[in-house]
Amino acid sequence: MKEAIITTAAFIALTIAVVAAVLVGTSKSELAECTKWSQEADAYPGYFLASWQKAQCDAHGVFISSPVK
């Protein structure tokens, strides 16, 4: 019985760690994309964003001065 409790606790801890790692990794990846799009917007005239790109960058506090189409 004690082994089952330890195994269950370890499984729960591992699951929480994996979920946290995925969330942090996704956030960093999204921020990197916004930074890339910001640089592209500065470099290319006529650059525009999709509405989902603007929403993503707004969520991360990255302002991109390109129109949304």
Tell me if 38 sits within 8 A of 13, measured CB to CB.
no
Number of domains observed in the structure of the chain: 1
Long-range CB contacts (within 8 A, 24+) of 26-31: 27/60, 30/56, 30/59, 30/60, 31/60, 31/62
Which residues form the domain of 45?
A: 2-59
Residue 62 sits at φ, ψ, to 5 deg, of -100, 120
| Sequence letter at residue 54 | K
pLDDT digits (tens, 9 = 90+) for 10-63: 999 999 988 888 877 788 999 999 999 999 999 999 999 999 999 999 999 999
Q: Is 54 domain-assigned?
A: yes
Q: What is the pTM of this model?
A: 0.72
